[in-house]
Amino acid sequence: MKRPAIGPWITIIIGAIYFLVPLVATFEFSLRMKRGEYSFEAYRVVFGDPNFQASFTYSAVIAIAAILVGVLLVVPTAYVVQLKLPRLRPLVEFITLLPLVIPAIVLVFGYIRMYNSSSWIPLTNSARGTDFLLTCAYVTLALPYMYRAVDTGLRAIDIRTLTEAAQSLGSSWPRILFQVILPNVRVAVLSGAFLTFAIVIGEFTMASLLNRPAFGPYLQLVGANRAYEPAALAIIAFIITWACMGLIQLFGGGRRSDTRR
Amino acid sequence: MAESAAEPARARPRPLSLTWLGVAPFMLFALMFLIVPATLLMVGAFQDPQGNFTLQNIANLNQPTIIRAYRTSIAISAASAFGGALIGFLIAYAVALGRVPRWIRPTMMTFSGVASNFAGVPLAFAFMATLGRTGLVTALLTSIFGFNIYRYGFNLLSFGGLTLTYLYFQIPLMILIMTPAIDGLKREWREASAILGASSWQYWRMVAFPILWPSLLGAFLLLFANAFGAIATAYALTGSSLNIITILLFAQIRGDVLHDPNLGYALALGMILITGLSNGAYIWLRSRSERWMR
């Protein structure tokens, strides 16, 4: 009965080659900046570039802001929907899936129409206003993953008992939410947060169309003008994504939602 | 005593306010950053510059450039979704049921989690360094086999090149979706069909495939929508030389290349329709397939 499994092996080996060759090739390419020898020159140039530092910092700050807003928005909603308003669940889930249905470029087009300088809420008039808009745009992009992660986390604990216990001990609602519920779903929140970071840090379309000096547009600019630095940046971006996914696994055993853009 | 009895009475309205506080900001956010912006675009698609109702924008979509852009986008999305679904399914099958060492599965799943999120501009860089004109694989094929792929019609900045690049996030996404679905195939079904004398082929054709097909088709549609809305990889790879719908819309938002803002809204409406249909069908199929996966 036990046949040697040749087919699966061939599949996996071909898959592994397809996945690994671009990484190896990119790494090799990134080392070739100095003629005739391998060196980390491209990385030195990239890390020394003030635009790299500025755009990366900018995107990291926006990402952290988006994570905070996302958590503040999603945790109370998911909690209330599960505990008190299960009738709203289909509507809320539908809303959280919308960012997967409406492409990012269409969303940002809508923002530009809605928040342009001659509109009721002219957010794009000032740099701060546009930063706020970009933060909210990223909250929207990450909403499907953040909501899914938090919702799953809340299901895994008994929020009704926890809530009643805290209530009978006299806790106020903010206290229940932030000192009882939130610590219990911190693993889920963290995995949502890291996924948000991975999606947002190199995001190009929205940042570029809103004219903000983010990491994604910087990457594109370097790609259009340089030879070896882009390869180094690709490796750096891959390591960042890997780190985010690794941290999710480290904290939460690596269950991930299956729907993503 | 009187005071402690009054406590719960005073506390009663508060759950209501919490309910309100929990849902209202979320709904407000959804309105401001999802529903109203999308609705404004869709309304704009049916308005002329003065704001009167018109179907002219929809009719104006019928231009060679726009039709070709939609067609190329659909073709690339379909090709990368089909390739991603097929290869991803085979790998998921090999990992889940293919008697391979145990460490391969978690390794493949972790890698898929990373690679399905490794999209956008850096992915374009990676493929340029691999299969671009001076890429490592291009150079190796030329120097070892004397086979210059660019002389034989391959071009990374084309339909085939972009599809090959998109597969890098499509295949992992498929692996992530299908491995749990394949795990959901119960051993009893296979044993029962073996007892009834079914061959392996008959089992797959008559039992496993009919159960898996909603997941398979659903995953295909999700992959399709995933590629259809993507722009960063294509833009970084080809600049604006490749005429796909997202790049056309990008140029339209940047500089009104169609010289008609309302035509841009119609363009966006068409995209929402296509990704909406494909995602809607995915969600419907997934709810169908979940019946078997309990």
The answer to whether the Cβ–Cβ distance between A11 and B93 falls below 8 Å is yes
User: What local confidence, expressed as pLDDT, does residue A3 receive?
Assistant: 56
For A239-258, the pLDDT digits (tens) are 999 999 888 888 765 444 44
User: What local confidence, expressed as pLDDT, does residue A141 receive?
Assistant: 95
For A206-231, the pLDDT digits (tens) are 999 999 999 999 999 999 898 899 99
Locate B126 and state its tokens. 């990676």
For B85-101, the pLDDT digits (tens) are 999 999 999 998 888 88
What's the average model confidence in pLDDT over B173-193?
Answer: 88
Q: Name residue, tokens 């905070």.
A: A68
User: What local confidence, expressed as pLDDT, does residue A154 receive?
Assistant: 93
The answer to whether the Cβ–Cβ distance between B94 and A8 falls below 8 Å is yes
The answer to whether the Cβ–Cβ distance between B129 and A26 falls below 8 Å is yes
Chain A residue with the nearest C-alpha to that of B168: A19
Q: Percent of chain B having pLDDT more than 70?
A: 93
Mean pLDDT of chain B: 87
Read off the pLDDT band of B8 (50, 70, 90). Answer: very low
What's the average model confidence in pLDDT over A126-148?
Answer: 95
Nearest to B121 among A25, A106, A219 (CB): A219
B262 touches chain A (CB under 8 A): no
pLDDT at B7 over 80: no
What's the average model confidence in pLDDT over A114-132?
Answer: 89
pTM to 2 decimal places: 0.89
Read off the pLDDT band of B16 (50, 70, 90). Answer: low
Q: Which of A167, A134, A118 is nearest to A64 (CA)?
A: A134
For B111-141, the pLDDT digits (tens) are 998 999 888 999 999 999 999 888 888 988 8
Which residues are registered as beta bridge partners of B47? B53
A·B CB contacts under 8 A: 272
User: What local confidence, expressed as pLDDT, does residue A260 receive?
Assistant: 40
Class of domain A52-252: mainly alpha
B213 touches chain A (CB under 8 A): no
Chain A residue with the nearest C-alpha to that of B282: A259
Secondary structure (DSSP) of B66-120: HHHHHHHHHHHHHHHHHHHHHHHHHHHHHHHHS---TTHHHHHHHHHHHHHH--S
Contacts of A108 in chain B (CB under 8 A): 253
For B184-226, the pLDDT digits (tens) are 888 888 889 889 988 888 888 888 888 888 889 889 999 999 9
**How close does chain A come to B41, measured CA to CA in Å?**
6
User: What local confidence, expressed as pLDDT, does residue B292 receive?
Assistant: 61
Phi-psi region of B154 (alpha: psi -120 to 50; beta: other; left: phi over 0): beta
pLDDT at A102 over 80: yes
- Helices (H), ranges, chain B: 2-11, 13-30, 36-44, 56-60, 64-97, 104-117, 121-131, 136-145, 159-183, 187-195, 200-203, 209-228, 232-238, 245-255, 261-290
User: What local confidence, expressed as pLDDT, does residue B291 receive?
Assistant: 67
User: What local confidence, expressed as pLDDT, does residue B88 receive?
Assistant: 95
